[in-house]
Amino acid sequence: MYFDVTMPLTLFIVVVVAMFLERKVEKKLKATFEEREFGVRDAVLLVAAISVTVSLMVFIPQMAIMLMFLFAYSMLLFIFTYLFSDFKKTGAKMFCLTFLIVSFVAATISLINFGVNSTVAYGALAFYCLFGFTFLALLYEENKADTGERWYLAVLPPALFICLYVFFSRTPIWFPYLLDLYGAVFAVLIILYLGSLFTWKTSLIFVGLLTIMDVILVLFTGSMVSAARHVSVLRLPVLISVPTLPAIVTKWGTLYMSLGLGDFFFAGLLTIQTFKKFGKDIAMLSAIAMSISFFIFEILMLNYEIGAFPGTLMIICGWLLSVIWKKVRH
| pLDDT in the model for residue 249 | 86
The conformation of residue 220, written as its DSSP 8-state character, comes to: I
Geometric angle at alpha carbon 184, from 268 and 110, rounded to 5°: 165
For the chain, the distance separating the N- and C-terminal CA atoms, rounded to the nearest angstrom, is 38
Q: Which of 329, 330, 328, 298 is nearest to 313 (CA)?
A: 298
Q: Which of 14, 19, 8 is nearest to 284 (CA)?
A: 19
| pLDDT in the model for residue 119 | 67
pTM above 0.85, yes or no: yes
- CA-CA distance, 88 to 145, in Å (whole number)? 11
Q: Are 287 and 12 in contact (CB under 8 A)?
A: yes
- CA-CA distance, 166 to 141, in Å (whole number)? 29
The conformation of residue 235, written as its DSSP 8-state character, comes to: T
| pLDDT in the model for residue 19 | 94
| pLDDT in the model for residue 204 | 94
- CA-CA distance, 140 to 103, in Å (whole number)? 18
| pLDDT in the model for residue 252 | 80
| pLDDT in the model for residue 29 | 81
DSSP readout, 16-39?
HHHHHHHHHHHHHHHHHTTT----
Ranges of residues in the chain whose predicted pLDDT is under 70: 34, 113-121, 145-147, 330
| pLDDT in the model for residue 142 | 81
User: What residues form DSSP beta bridges with 250?
Assistant: 253
| pLDDT in the model for residue 114 | 59
HSE of 113 in the Cβ direction (CA atoms, 13 Å)? 20
| pLDDT in the model for residue 254 | 87
The helix/strand/coil state of 238 is: coil
How many C-beta atoms lie closer than 10 Å to residue 39's C-beta? 13
DSSP readout, 276-295?
HHH-HHHHHHHHHHHHHHHH
Q: Which helix (H) or strand (E) holds 249?
A: strand 249-250
| pLDDT in the model for residue 116 | 55
Q: Are 174 and 168 in contact (CB under 8 A)?
A: yes
Q: Which of 28, 8, 65 is nearest to 267 (CA)?
A: 8
User: SS3 letters for 35-80?
Assistant: CCCCCHHHHHHHHHHHHHHHHHHHHCCHHHHHHHHHHHHHHHHHHH
What phi and psi, each to the nearest 5 degrees, are found at residue 243?
-70, 150
- CA-CA distance, 155 to 153, in Å (whole number)? 5
